[in-house]
């Protein structure tokens, strides 16, 4: 039986597309991995916290924040409490539990999901590594990958490739510099962004704490 040339070339095309896809999937994060990493309530809650709570309660939930002086630092510490208490004070405000009315009621401003997510986040807000994980999953995985192995979805577009951060041989102060000032300022690729423009120093310190915990071993 003779197979027409057009059919052969289509088959070749289909096979090569699937091979490319396979190689691709093995190399970079899958959409599923990214969705899973980004959809964790804690990660989403971190974004809510940053937008609505950080001003008064501070990056670490310790009440060291810009608005601290207005309300008195002691009161602004987020302490470990049960979920019912968090639900009450966050939905209906400080006065609903006999505390300061300067703690706003959020039920009108935040969705059901956002309230639950931010409660998840405040349970880890005083843990630097967990805060750093949130920073990493929100800002770094596109290039460095969910597993920080340098194989994020965008990694294939760049040469040099984003670093495998599980095997970095750089110390914390080098990491702080390159994260804050970007690759170009350090004589490296300008693709590595200047995060000092977008992240607070605390967030950069936190992400470095997180990177410590995922270190497998340095290459050298
Ligand atoms: C305008 C400032 C302000 C903002 C913004 C704010 N809070 Fe508060 N919050 C307060 C004040 C003031 C208190 C302390 C009340 C007191 O001690 O009398 C408080 C108390 C709390 C407490 C109780 C602490 C404890 O252990 O008793 C929680 C939990 C809390 N806030 C969560 C949040 C969350 C979550 C957000 C963001 C969605 C947020 N707050 C935004 C001012 C603020
Ligand atoms: C747009 C892509 C991109 C994003 C997003 C990105 N990076 Fe990078 N990063 C790179 C590239 C590319 C390099 C390698 C630069 C080189 O080798 O010249 C790099 C290098 C680094 C290094 C140096 C590691 C070493 O061992 O030398 C650190 C640390 C780092 N990135 C941390 C981060 C952190 C933390 C974030 C998130 C806050 C982040 N990067 C987000 C592209 C990115």
Cis upstream peptide for 160 (omega within 30°): yes
Which of 143, 174, 198, 216 to mutate to test ligand 2, by most ligand atoms within 8 A of the CB atom? 143
Closest protein CA for atom 8 of ligand 2: 192
CA distance 175 to 211: 10
Give me the long-range contacts of 29-37 (CB less than 8 A, separation at least 24): 29/141, 29/145, 29/146, 29/147, 29/151, 29/152, 29/153, 33/146, 34/141, 34/146, 34/153, 36/146, 37/137, 37/141, 37/146
Find where tokens 């510490």 sit: 77
Q: Taking a C-beta distance cutoff of 8 angstroms, is the pair 136, 34 a contact?
A: no
Starting from the CA of residue 82, give the closest ligand. 1
CA of 120 to the centre of ligand 1 (A): 15
What is the pLDDT at residue 22? 46
What is the pLDDT at residue 34? 86
pLDDT tens per residue across span 84-130: 999 999 999 999 999 988 999 999 999 999 999 999 999 999 999 99
What is the pLDDT at residue 106? 98
Query: At 9, is the pLDDT very low, low, confident or very high (cuts 50, 70, 90)?
Result: low
pLDDT higher for 10 or 84? 84
* Cβ(65) – ligand 2 distance below 6 Å: no
> Which of 96, 76, 74 lies closest to 84 in space, CA to CA?
96
CA of 62 to the centre of ligand 1 (A): 11
CA distance 209 to 10: 51
Sign of CA dihedral 24, 28, 33, 34: negative
Which of 147, 192, 208, 215 to mutate to test ligand 2, by most ligand atoms within 8 A of the CB atom? 192
């Amino acid at each position: 039986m003779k197979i027409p040339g057009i059919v052969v070339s289509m088959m070749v095309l289909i096979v090569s597309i699937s091979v490319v896809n396979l190689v691709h999937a093995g190399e970079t994060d899958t959409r599923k991995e990214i969705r899973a990493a980004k959809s964790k309530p804690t990660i989403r809650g971190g974004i809510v916290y940053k937008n609505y709570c950080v001003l008064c309660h501070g990056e670490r939930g310790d009440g060291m924040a810009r608005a601290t002086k207005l309300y008195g630092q002691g009161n602004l510490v987020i302490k470990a409490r049960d979920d019912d208490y968090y639900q009450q004070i966050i939905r209906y405000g400080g006065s609903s539990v006999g505390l300061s009315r300067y703690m706003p009621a959020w039920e009108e401003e935040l969705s059901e999901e956002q309230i639950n997510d931010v409660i998840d986040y405040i349970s880890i807000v005083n843990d630097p590594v967990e805060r750093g994980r949130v920073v990493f999953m929100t800002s770094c995985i596109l290039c460095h990958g969910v597993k920080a192995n340098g194989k994020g979805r965008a990694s294939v577009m760049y040469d040099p490739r984003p670093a495998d951060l599980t095997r970095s041989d750089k110390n914390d102060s080098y990491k702080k510099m390159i994260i804050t000032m970007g690759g170009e300022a350090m004589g490296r690729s300008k693709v590595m962004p200047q995060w000092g423009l977008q992240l607070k120093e605390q967030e950069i310190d936190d992400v470095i704490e997180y990177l410590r915990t995922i270190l497998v071993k340095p290459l050298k």
